[in-house]
Structure 1
C-alpha cells in the first residue's frame, strides 16, 4: 500500500511539474482540492491527480498535447472537463487531470435579443440576467439554474421546466469551438452539402474526421434514423441521427458535442440562439389526493396548451416545510419573508388533507390579465371533474410573485435533500427516465410496484407534460444491503421504461450511471456505431473515460461514494 501511495505521488508531482511549463493557469494537487473535486451531484467518487484552472483555450490545447505525448508512458492519463459540478450522472469527476473551466473561461462576449456568444464556464444565472435586459431567454435551463453553467447545459443537452414548449439545448446551439484529440481548436457549425464536400476534401486531421463521420452516418443511415428515441426529449448516447439529414442536406457536428459530456473533445466557446422572453406567467396548482387517475388527467391538462407542466410529491413538500430555514440562505431575507407569507394559503389547503402529488400548470402571456384568464379557464374546466380526477383542491397563482413558493420547492428540492437529510443520502440512479405521456396510466402503477418491491424511500418530481420523471431515492448507501438494490432495481425500471417506448434519460445524460445501460436501450449494433464515433474522435481515450459509451457497471459500482 505504501509503495502504491508513493508511486501515485510521483506521478502526480510529475504531471504538475511538466504541465506547469506549458500551462498559464493554476495547477492544484492539494489533498483538500482533490477531495472536493472527487464529487459532483452524483453518487460516485473519483479523485483526480491534478486540478487545472485553464486561463484560455491555449491551456486546454496544451493539456491535450501533453496527454498525447505521455499517454504511452502513463496509460491512465486522461482529461475530465468540469464547470460547476452539478452533473448528476458522474460525468464531472475523473481520476487523472481535471480541468475546471469555470474560474477563468466564464466571459460573456455578446448578447442580443436573438443570440448570445459566451464562454462555457459562465453561470446560467449571470447569463440569464444579461439576456433578461435584452428581453430574450435561453429556455432550456435545468432546475439547477442558479448553480449550473451554460457549458454544463451544452455538454449535458440540458432541459427543464420550459422544454415542453421550447425543447432542449440542442435546438439553441448554433456554433461551438472545440479542442479535439490532436490538441487543436476547431469551429463547428451547420454545413450545407457544398461546405461539407469542401471539408471532406481537406487532406488533414479535420478533413479525415468529416469524411469518416459522414461515411459512417451515410452507410448506416436508415438504422441510425430509426434508433432516435420516440420521446419529446432525450440525453442518451450520441445523437447521430441529428448530425446528417438527407432531406435538408445539412451536416451539423455541433449535434455530436451537445450532450457529449466532454467525451469527444472539450468545448471552449459557445454561440446560441435565444427566444423572446414572455412578459408574464402564472400557475394553476392542483393538489391530488391520489395518483390513480393521473394518466387520464395529464392529457386533459395538455389540451389547454400550458407553457410548463411540473410536479412534486408529498415527500418533497414535507421536506421543504421541514427544512424551510434553509431557503433563507438560498433566497435572501426579503424573498424568504415573502415566501413565508405566501405559504398561508397553502397551509389552509393542507388542512383539507395532505396531497399525494402537487401539479404546477404554468401559462405565459403578454399581460397579467391574459395569464389570469388562462389560469381561471383551466380551473373551471377541471373543477367540473374534481371527483373524477381525485383533485383535493386548487390554488390560483396567476402572477410570478404568487407562484414563486412552488417554484422554490420544485427547483431546490434536490439541493435540500443532498445537504439536509443526514441519516440517508440522495441516490440519483433512476432519476431521469421519460415515457410517452399516453402510456402513463399503465406505466405509473408498475413503477410504483418496483419502488415498493425494493422498499425505496423516494421523492418524485417531474415534467408531467413530457412524461419525464425524477425519482430520487434516499438511501443509506454505505449499507451493503442498500447498495445491492441499485443494479436490479435500475434494470427493472429501465426494462419498464423501454417496454413503453421511453428513454432512460430525458435530461441528466449517461455519465457513469446510465452509460452502462446504453446497450440495453439501443442494442449492440447501434451502440457499436456510437463507440466507433468515440474511437474516431478520441482514439487514445483521453477525454473523460468510463463515461457514456465507455462506461462499465463494475467500474461505476466500485466507485460509489462510501462517505457523504
Structure 2
C-alpha cells in the first residue's frame, strides 16, 4: 500500500494535487446516488502530466493493485461514471482552452464547459446538436465519453455521429490520433510493428472473427449508450475502420482523451412548437405516430410531477427565462394556470418542436399536425419563436430543481435512461409506473425524448430509509427485464457507470460481454483506466457505495 500517494503525485506532475478532507468529499460524488472517495484528486496541466500519471500507476500497480485513474470533467454523470476509489483526474481546471472553429469543425478539450463551447460555435452560426439537457452545467469530456444525446437527437442523432478525430493517450503513455481509416490506411496501421499496430491488429481480428455476432448484438433502437459499440467500428460496405466509434461512449475506460474534432451543423432561423396536454395515455401511441410523420426536430415529454415542480418553484424558473421578470413570466404562464384550474392537471405534457429556415413550412406543419390530432382531442397550445422558452426551461431544468428543492427527498437515478421503440413506449411506460407504484417509498418524475422512445424516470427517495436501499436493485431488475423483453436498451444517453454495468450481461448475453472484456484487455489489460465501468461490473460494489446522506 502506498501510504503517501498525494505527496508522490506532487513530485511527478506540474498540476495540482489535493487530498484534504473537503476536496475528497466534494469529488466523492457525481450526480448519481453513489459515494466513492478517492485517495487523491489531481488537476493535470498538460499531456505530460497525464503521461506521468499513467507511468506512475503502471510502475506501482504491482505493489498496489487498486491503483487506477478516472477522468472527470464537470462531474454531472448520473450513473457513477466519474468517481473512483484511487486517483481522480479532473480536467476542467486546465484542459479548458477556447475551442477553435474552422469551417464546420471545432476542436475542443475535455474540460470545456458546454455553455462556453456553444458561445464559440454560435459566433459562426453553428451548433453541436447532441447536447444534453444538462447543457448549462456539463462539459465536453462527459459529452464525448458518454456518447451524449438530447432534445435534438431525434433529427440529428447522438455524439457518435459528429466525431471526426480524437487525440488520446493510451496505456503506453503515448499520444495517438484516432479517425476513420480507409482500406489503404487500415492496411498501413495493421502492418506496423509497434504498440499502435498491435492495437489495430487485435481490434481488427476481434471484429472480423465475430462480425456476424457483433452486428446481431446491436440494439434495435435509435439511441444506445450501453457497452462498447463494436458494431460501429468496421463499415464493411464502405471498407472503413474507425476507432473513434469505440472510444466515444467508452467512459474513459480505454485511456485519456486530450482533444476531439467535432462536426457542427447550421442553426435554423425559425422555430415553432406545439405543446400537447394529455389527461391520460390512451392515445399516446397514435399521437406519437402522427407527430413523427411530420419529422420534428425534437419531440419531448414530461409528466404532471415535473409541471407541479415548475409551478411550485416558479421564481427559479422565472430567473431562467431572462430579464423579463417574475410578473412578465407569470403572465406568460397564465394560460397554463387557467387550464389546470378549470381542466385539472394533465398526466403528460408533450413538446413538438419544428425548426427550419422557411417560416411558412413550419406553420404548415403545425396546421397539418393540428388536423391529424383532431380525432384524438388533446388540449393544444402553439408557442411561436421565443414563446417556447418557458417549456424548454421546465424540460431542461427539472432535474436540477429536484436535486436542490425537494425537502427530505433526493434524486436517485437508477432507472433513468431506458429506450424502447416508440411504438412500445405507452405500454412499457404504464408497466414501469406499475412497478414503481408498488413501492410507496419511491416518488418519481418522468421526462424524456418521446420520438426516440427514451425516457428518464427519476425517483425521489429518502436514501436513509432501509427499504429504499433494499428495493433499488429489485426495481432495477424488474424494469430492465421489461426493457430487454421489448428489445430495448437499458441506457440511451447516460451510459453504464457503476449502476448499469452489472446489467450488461443480461442485455447482451455472455458472448458479447466476453468481447467487451477482450476489448478492454486490448487497450487496458492492467485495468488502469476507470475500473468497475463497462466491464467487470459488480452490483454488490455499487450497492455498498450508495450514498448514506445528502
Do these two structures clear the TM 0.5 threshold for a shared fold by scoring above it? Answer: yes
Q: Distance in 2 between matches of 1:326 and 1:168?
A: 30
Q: Distance in 1 between matches of 2:474 and 2:325?
A: 43
Does the 8 A contact of 2:321 with 2:390 survive in 1? Answer: no
Name structure 2 gaps, 5 residues minimum: none
**Post-superposition offset of 1:375:** 2.3
Matching residue of 2:302: 312
Matching residue of 1:539: 525
Superimposed CA distance per residue, residues 17-50 of structure 1 (whole angstroms, 9 cap, x where no aligned partner): 2222221111111111100000000001111111
Report 1:291-306 matches (<5 A).
291-306=281-296
**Post-superposition offset of 1:337:** 5.5
Within the candidate set 392, 396, 400, 1:411 is matched to: 396
Does the 8 A contact of 2:298 with 2:451 survive in 1? Answer: yes
**Post-superposition offset of 1:506:** 0.5
Superimposed CA distance per residue, residues 439-475 of structure 1 (whole angstroms, 9 cap, x where no aligned partner): 2343233222212223332100110001101011111
Matching residue of 2:194: 204
Q: Distance in 2 between matches of 1:461 and 1:551?
A: 27
Report 1:405-554 matches (<5 A).
405-455=390-440, 456-554=442-540
Q: Distance in 2 between matches of 1:298 and 1:370?
A: 21
Name structure 1 gaps, 5 residues minimum: 1-6
Does the 8 A contact of 2:320 with 2:393 survive in 1? Answer: no
Q: Distance in 2 between matches of 1:277 and 1:531?
A: 40
Q: Distance in 2 between matches of 1:487 and 1:26?
A: 38
Matching residue of 1:114: 104
Report 1:131-210 matches (<5 A).
131-210=121-200
What TM-score comes out, normalization by structure 1 length?
0.95
Matching residue of 1:380: 371
Instruction: Say whether residues 1:125 and 2:102 are aligned partners.
Output: no
Instruction: Say whether residues 1:364 and 2:355 are aligned partners.
Output: yes
- Closer/same/farther in 2, CA of residues 253 and 335 from structure 1, 3 Å limit: farther
Superimposed CA distance per residue, residues 350-408 of structure 1 (whole angstroms, 9 cap, x where no aligned partner): 2222101100000002144443343233223313431xxxx2x2111021x21011100
Q: Distance in 1 between matches of 2:23 and 2:129?
A: 33
Q: Distance in 2 between matches of 1:338 and 1:538?
A: 56
Q: Distance in 1 between matches of 2:70 and 2:467?
A: 32
Residue range with higher mean Cα deviation, 345-354 or 83-92: 345-354
Within the candidate set 217, 222, 235, 2:225 is matched to: 235
Residue range with higher mean Cα deviation, 366-375 or 520-529: 366-375
Superimposed CA distance per residue, residues 506-555 of structure 1 (whole angstroms, 9 cap, x where no aligned partner): 00000001000000000001010001111111111010111121221000
Residue range with higher mean Cα deviation, 71-80 or 293-302: 293-302
Instruction: Say whether residues 1:71 and 2:71 are aligned partners.
Output: no
Matching residue of 2:270: 280
Does the 8 A contact of 1:234 with 1:503 survive in 2? Answer: yes
- Closer/same/farther in 2, CA of residues 338 and 106 from structure 1, 3 Å limit: farther
**Post-superposition offset of 1:199:** 1.0
Does the 8 A contact of 1:239 with 1:255 survive in 2? Answer: yes
Task: Please give the secondary structure, in 2, of the residue aligned with 1:433.
Answer: strand
Does the 8 A contact of 2:6 with 2:39 survive in 1? Answer: no
* CA-atom RMSD in angstroms: 1.5
What TM-score comes out, normalization by structure 2 length?
0.97
Q: Distance in 1 between matches of 2:15 and 2:331?
A: 47
How many corresponding residue pairs?
A: 548
- Closer/same/farther in 2, CA of residues 338 and 251 from structure 1, 3 Å limit: farther
Task: Please give the secondary structure, in 1, of the residue aligned with 2:100.
Answer: strand
